[in-house]
């Protein structure tokens, strides 16, 4: 029988915080640089706790994201499930990468996420182009190391409590 960890609620709380950060208003000057918080958190949890968070969790976060942002229902769910699937298949390799290479792997996965969103928008007739569409990829990769360190530290604290 697997032990039940006390920080499963922490996974849920971090995902809620990511959704809140996604819908929180930002000034126009930095809004284009808003990181893909739900994608980063889905990648973190599928990388570090694949036995606790998987495709169903990614799909539920995506549906919540679609509902909160008013996008096509299933758009973010599809994109998050695809990157979660890739991450679950490669998580043992990515976890042993040095931190810099891990950030590059996350950059590539967030790029896949944004491309899928771009593709669905194009198919639906909401095509947007320009560099602003791809800025969240850079900001997400740049914030990967601090976010991963923060979540790891919080997990250690939650385990001790």
Alpha helices in the chain (DSSP H): 8-23, 28-31, 37-48, 55-69, 75-95, 99-124, 135-160
- Are the beta carbons of 55 and 88 closer than 8 angstroms? yes
Which pTM value belongs to this model? 0.92
Per residue in 107-138, pLDDT (tens digit) is 999 999 999 999 999 999 887 778 888 999 99
The class (CATH top level) of 8-160 is mainly alpha
Domain boundaries, the chain: 8-160
3-state secondary structure of 36: coil
Helix, coil or strand: residue 127: coil
pLDDT confidence tier of residue 57, bands split at 50, 70 and 90: very high
Q: What is the DSSP letter of 97?
A: S
Per the CB < 8 A criterion, the answer to whether 109 and 43 are in contact is yes
How confident is the prediction for the chain on average, in pLDDT? 91
What one-character DSSP code corresponds to residue 2?
A: P
């Amino acid at each position: 029988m697997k032990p039940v960890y006390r920080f499963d609620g922490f996974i849920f709380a971090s995902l809620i915080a990511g959704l809140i950060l996604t819908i929180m208003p930002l000034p126009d000057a930095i809004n284009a640089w808003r990181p893909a918080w739900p994608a980063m958190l889905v990648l973190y949890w599928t990388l570090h706790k694949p036995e606790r968070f998987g495709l169903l969790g990614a799909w539920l976060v995506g549906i919540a994201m679609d509902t909160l942002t008013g996008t096509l229902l299933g758009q973010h769910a599809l994109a998050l499930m695809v990157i979660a699937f890739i991450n679950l298949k490669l998580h043992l390799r990515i976890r042993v990468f040095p931190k810099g290479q891990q950030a590059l792997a996350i950059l590539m996965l967030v790029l896949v996420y944004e491309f899928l969103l771009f593709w669905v928008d194009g198919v639906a007739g909401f095509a947007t182009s320009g560099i602003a569409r791809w800025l969240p990829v850079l900001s997400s990769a740049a914030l990967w190391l601090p976010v991963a360190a923060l979540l790891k530290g919080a997990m250690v604290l939650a385990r001790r409590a």
